[in-house]
Amino acid sequence: MRTLLTTLFFSSMIIAVQAQTTLTGLVKDSKTGEAIIGANIFVKGTYDGASTDIDGDFVFNTFKKDTAIILISYLGYETQEITQLLHSDTLNMEIHLVAQISELDMVVITAGAFEASDEKKAVILRPLDIAMTAGATADIAGALNTLPGTQTVGEEGRLFVRGGDAYETRTFIDGLLVQKPYSSSVPDLPARGRFSPFLFKGTMFSTGGYSAEYGRALSSALVLETQGLANESITSISLMSIGGGLGHTKRWDKSSLSVSADYTNLKPYISLVPQNIEWEKPVSSYSGQAVFRQEIGTNGMLKAQASVQSSGMTMLYPDMNQVEELLPLSLDNDNYYANASYSEILNEKWSLDAGFAYGYDKEDIIQDFELHRTIDLLQGRLKTTYYPNDQITIKMGSEWMREQFDESYRPDEDTSFETNLKSNYSAAFAEAEAYLNPKLAIRLGVRGEYFGLLKEWDVTPRLSVAYKSGTFSQFSLAFGQFYQQPEFDALRYGAPEKPEKATHYILNYQYTRKKRVFRAEAYYKQYQDLMTYEADQPWILDNSGEGYAKGLDLFYRDQELIRNGDFWLSYSLLDTKREYRDFPELAAPTFASKHNFSAVYKHWLGKINTSIGLTYSYASPRAYNDPNTDVFNEGETAAYQDLSFNASYLTNLFGQFTVLYCSVTNLPGFDQSFGYRYSASPDENGLYTASQIEPPAKRFFFVGLFISIGQKFEN
């Protein structure tokens, strides 16, 4: 469920670590005296630094010795340099920045984007918010599903955004596409993200209209930026109800290396918790990860990481021909991922970012058939950024990908079907963002893409505009066209002539004052050129599919109303229909709920060093198709409800910083049903038999003890 590297970052995100020198302080506006949120403070010539929080405070550690130059910068303010003598004690600073343009008057583009970062002014969530959301169990997708624009699809575990299928949301790490961001799973069992949220210092979740930097995603982009140098040398141990692991991080002056390994086995857990599944071999997995960071010169950073995961399970699963009959089904998965990126500030006007990644995934599925499938992805990316002045930023870049998909399907011993597909993809983009005046900002981009498998060139425009309507409020508009090649699973019998296309129109209003945020966003998304085919003739396909999604998203977060409390409320109204794949007509897809609501609450109990959280989620009924009726997708699932709880207790074990964490999903035990699966052929009465789709268990319990050796606990 989580790697030992997660343990390391889980500890470091909750409590400050010890280093040679600790710098703390407050950054204010020199004229108004108000705290500045999101100002960057760092030691010149190093990557040691931090950003101010909601109160203008900052704290970070540095290994720099003797005299150092402290740089303080924030958009719209003059950059300040302070020469400071460093020593082993804590240094406290109060910094007053002089405004070029008043921070309260500065406009920020927000349409279609939720950002979780410690660096950006317009951020709504922090990285720790993602990790500590009840019900998510430190899964990125689980936490983001509490935001507006997403749909709760309990049997999937993936991100479904504004009427889009799961494959329409793509994940990028340091600008590089991740082909398989979720664990392997059989149909109707939820998957889980492969990556810990603590690997990342920034998360940008776009629900539409995203930057020209990214492509191949019809609905949404999840952009993850990895951490820099580790703070200190430390060893971590995790003991969990579903497994355990070990990790170690070594920090040198200008480099760091983290290695970890963990083992998961659900057999002991399943023996204690009743299941709706008949397991023959419960899920077990091995995984390992290495993360290396190296400062190059004074302004360069090299990042490299590699991960490996191997998992397997066997269960009794409904036969697709007659669902009332259960047959043993086994799934084995091997996944490898590696990437390397390099960033450098070349001079005052230019910066450079380059990256390379490789991913490999293998699945072996056996029931009364055999399915063997592999997919690998090789890619490279280059981006330059030009800063002609404080008000304009220009980005230019290119990328290349090569994918290969191989599949062997054997329905019986004498028959075999082979699929071998190779796809090359290349793209180039340019984008400019300008602050025309304190109240008006614009971002204009264009992206050119070539889909080698489809032999198709496309050019896509992107536009975002933001206007400051008041001291604390603003409006944003976004427009963009997006293309995506259908999944390889849908291309077994041939490829369409064109990639699928979506056009986004977004209107956003946001009000931010101190520790309160309200935003409302209306959108319309038009689908064109969707791949479609007859259900019994998948080899006859074309681009005649179409669809739409429109709706309203509302979000409110308040960190001020309740002392030591924090909560947010999300609501989404969605109207969507589409004709794609084997849909015979324009219809609501099975993953879309008209109404989605989430309420998240977190509270810090200082006297007992404990953080608690609650999350309530509701989704209205979804459509499903009953072949025993004449109307397509006429069936309706039950409404979905879930109330989850978690708690983290901070203490020490043998003098080492320790976190005891526990969580439970669906605390009240709501009945949850996700529709029915039907036999492929009718019985002697001409009816298709049905089998209900429900969660593996009514509740999921998790308990973990995370120990950081070398990190002391400070109450």
For 454-490, what is each residue's pLDDT tens digit? 999 999 999 999 888 888 888 999 999 999 999 998 8
Q: Are 222 and 202 in contact (CB under 8 A)?
A: no
pLDDT tens per residue across span 322-339: 888 999 999 999 999 999
Residue 259 amino acid letter: V
CB 186 within 8 A of CB 572: no
Could you give all domains of the chain from N- to C-terminal order, each with its CATH number? 4-101 (2.60.40.1120), 127-709 (2.40.170.20)
Q: Contact at 8 Å (CB) between 26 and 32? A: no
- Measuring CA to CA, how many Å separate 421 from each of 87, 147, 418? 60, 36, 10
Could you give the CA distance from residue 252 to residue 292 in angstroms, rounded to a whole number? 11
Percent of the chain with pLDDT over 70: 91
Q: Residue 550, CB half-sphere, CA atoms under 13 Å: how many?
A: 5
Whole-prediction pTM: 0.83
Q: What is the 3-state secondary structure (H, E, C) of 128-176?
A: HHHHCCCCCCCCHHHHHCCCCCECCCCCCCCCCECCCCHHHEEEEECCE
The neighbouring-strand residues paired with 257 are: 250, 292
pLDDT of residue 508: 92
Choice among 106-110, 270-274, 311-315 with the minimum mean pLDDT: 106-110
Residue 48, SS3 per DSSP = coil
* Cβ-based burial of 519 (10 A; exposed 0-12, middle 13-18, buried ≥19): buried
Question: What pLDDT was estimated at residue 204?
Answer: 83
Give the pairing type, strands 440-451 and 456-468.
Answer: antiparallel
Mean pLDDT for all residues in the chain: 87
Q: For residue 183, what pLDDT is reported?
A: 92
- Comparing 466 with 113, which gets the higher pLDDT? 466
Q: What average pLDDT does the segment 29-40 reach? A: 78
Q: Is 260 helix (H, G, I), strand (E, B) or coil?
A: strand
Q: Using CB atoms within 10 A of its CB, is residue 387 exposed (0-12), middle (13-18) or buried (19+)?
A: middle
Q: Which of 15-24, 69-78, 429-438, 451-460 has the lowest mean pLDDT?
A: 15-24
The reported pLDDT for the residue numbered 15 is 35
- 29 phi and psi angles, rounded to 5 deg: -75, 130
Q: Can you list the alpha helix ranges (DSSP code H) found in 140-266?
A: 140-144
What is the number of alpha carbons within 13 Å of residue 366 lying toward its C-beta? 8
103, 157, 286 from 414: Cα distances, Å: 71, 36, 35
Task: Write the DSSP string, 368-396.
Answer: SSEEEEEEEEEEEEEEEEEEEETTEEEEE
Mean pLDDT of 116-129: 53
Q: What is the pLDDT of residue 11?
A: 40
Residues 6+ apart with CB under 8 A from 685: none
The label of the residue with tokens 């090299």 reads 302
- Residue 584 CB coordination number (10 Å): 12
Phi, psi of 124 (to 5 degrees): -110, -30
Q: How far is CA 461 from CA 212, 444, 503, in A?
A: 8, 8, 10
- Looking at residue 361, what DSSP letter applies? E
Query: Which residue from 377, 397, 394 is spatially nearest to 386, judged by alpha carbons?
Result: 394
DSSP assignment string, 529-593: EEEEEETTEEEEEEEEEEEEEEEEEEEEEESSSSTTEEEEEEEEEEEEEEE-BT-SSSB--TT-B
Among candidate residues 457, 454, 447, the one with its CA nearest the CA of residue 482: 447
Of residues 6 and 587, more confidently modeled: 587
Q: How many CA atoms lie within 13 A of 526 on its CB side?
A: 6
Question: What distances in angstroms separate CA 531 from CA 155, 170, 495, 579, 633, one per listed residue?
Answer: 24, 19, 9, 9, 19
Residue 550 has pLDDT above 90, yes or no: yes
Query: What pLDDT shows up at residue 1?
Result: 43
Query: 71-85, 245-259, 598-612, 613-627 — which is least confidently predicted?
Result: 71-85
* Residue 108 banded pLDDT, cuts 50, 70, 90: low
Please report the pLDDT score of residue 113 as a whole number: 66
- Reply yes or no on whether the pLDDT at 533 is more than 60: yes
Is it the case that residue 631 has pLDDT exceeding 70? yes
CA atoms within 13 A on the CB side of 540: 4
Output the furthest CA–CA distance in the chain (Å, rounded).
87
Residue indicated by tokens 């399907």: 409
- What CA–CA distance (Å, rounded) separates 237 from 137? 18
Mean pLDDT throughout 4-16? 38
* C-alpha–C-alpha distance, residues 428 and 382, integer Å: 10
The larger pLDDT score, comparing residue 341 to residue 56, is at 341
Residue 527 and residue 548 in contact, taking contact as beta carbons nearer than 8 Å: yes
Chain center to CA of 66: 40
pLDDT in tens, 270-291: 999 889 899 999 999 999 999 9
pLDDT over 80 (residue 497) = yes
SS3 318: strand
Predicted confidence at residue 127, as pLDDT, reads 63
Is the pLDDT assigned to residue 55 strictly greater than 80? Answer: no
